[in-house]
Amino acid sequence: MKASEIIALLPYQRPFLFVDDIDSVTENKIIGHYTFKSDEFFYQGHFKDNPVTPGVILTECMAQIGLVCLGVYLVKDELTKSQKPQIALTSHQMDFYLPVLPSQKVIVHSEKEVFRFNKLKCKVKMLNEKEQLVARGTISGMLKI
């Protein structure tokens, strides 16, 4: 399955799609990236005159790439051509280390810990372009086909 096919199956669209591309994907891990545009809707009110990407948006980006894209890849053989999987976040634990500013690119790495009974749990980390750790944690979700 190509990266573009995985992204097309996501249940998101702009302005709430935080996946530009998938760099690699296997049964056990995925790497993808997103560049936060300077005109993203949330920068208008998040820290007046000093915009910073909210942690909840960084978590969403990690969930979209590290959980949802990987989940779509894992269930690809069960999908019909018109079928899109539904995915719900069930839990997350995240630690943040560096801010992400407008126009910055982030790279998300995710490793599958458990995939059983359509529940996926992953260890995720987000790096900036300098390969500095921005955030890391675990994310879990349920997939419905």
Cα torsion through 3, 24, 32, 79, rounded to 10: 40
Q: Sketch out the chain's domains with CATH numbers.
A: 3-144 (3.10.129.10)
Please work out, in degrees rounded to the nearest 5, the angle formed at the alpha carbon of residue 106 by the alpha carbons of 109 and 84. 65
Does the active-site annotation cover 92?
no
How far apart (Å, rounded) are the C-alpha atoms in residues 81 and 89? 24
pLDDT of residue 45: 79
Question: Which residue out of 33, 46, 92, 109 is catalytically annotated?
Answer: 46
pLDDT band at 11 (very low <50, low <70, confident <90, very high): confident
How far apart (Å, rounded) are the C-alpha atoms in residues 122 and 125? 10
Lowest-confidence region among 9-13, 111-115, 132-136, 137-141: 9-13
